[in-house]
Structure 1
Amino acid sequence: MRRARLPKALAAVGLLTVACTVEPGIISTPSPVLQPVVDSAPYVCSLIPEQAFRLVSGVTGPLAGETDGDERNGDCRTSDTTSLSLEVWWMQEGSGMTREHLSFLLNDRREVYSRHDGVVLPTELGEGMAAHLSDPPSGDQPYQVSAKFQCGGKERLIDIFLPQVAMGRDAIKDLIALMRIAQKRYGELYDCTPGP
């Protein structure tokens, strides 16, 4: 009985060996290397490089933006021809905006981001998180990153919201890269040095 089973087992091993043999002429194609998010002019909403935004979001059409506010508090909404494609908000500690209120706003965002497996930002970007919200309150900006940081001795808060991320991109990594650039650009525009 045992001798009858042995040839069947050897035959099965032989079939597996043939099935796992690579056919000549078949070449595996490596995944493409994703382009990094880099800082370069021109900028969208004054803080986000247009080319980086297009790379991350996959948006290709013409952009129209509207900015409201100043160094202390402001927002920018940039849309392509079909929908809202980028929102950037910034706030600064000062008259009417206490440090405690900035902390309250950030804690509120952190609570939401934590429910969606958000990722804590690197410490050099200050306090904050990045997340993909499966059911965002606004319904159209699921990719979000928020950071509270120091610049010129005052606390600042920047929010960046995207409606989509291009297929194959690492949304969280890209959001963190966009925040890094936005903080640097903010410092250049408003003559302060960003830090944690």
Structure 2
Amino acid sequence: MASHYEAPIRRPLVIGDKNYHDVTVDVAAPVEGKANKSWWIVFTISLIAFLWGLGCIIYTVSTGIGVWGLNRTVNWAWDITNFVWWVGIGHAGTLISAVLLLFRQKWRMAINRSAEAMTIFSVIQAGLFPIIHMGRPWLAYWVLPIPNQFGSLWVNFNSPLLWDVFAISTYLSVSLV
């Protein structure tokens, strides 16, 4: 009985007698090359959507969140859903990183970096929703319990906005470590 396992010979992944430089050129060609027409079309559509969204945020901040039609409770679902979506994406990044660490995968580092970056950026994105939801982003510090000139005036601890700030700041600080 053999004391070790002999692996069958694997076929090479790169064929055609290429060296490292040729492989690097082939891999980097889509990024370093000139963009084709379809890329510019998709880029233009994405830029228009981004500018439209930015215009909507500017309109909301300048006019107030009354433009969202929040006089019915059903309409609150849109901004709450977006907030929970970004927090969930952050949880997914943490989960991916943790599962790969628990199973001690040797190839996990590149995926961990991407997953942890995804976590940080999605928590930052989720943090923008309570600020925009306040309607006056220049007064965002009002949700923080800081000493002020009014004496014993503190934030409303029953407010969901305050608990969103606590949740995001806690999750962001844990994710950064």
Q: Greater strand share, 1 or 2?
A: 1
Q: Greater helix share, 1 or 2?
A: 2
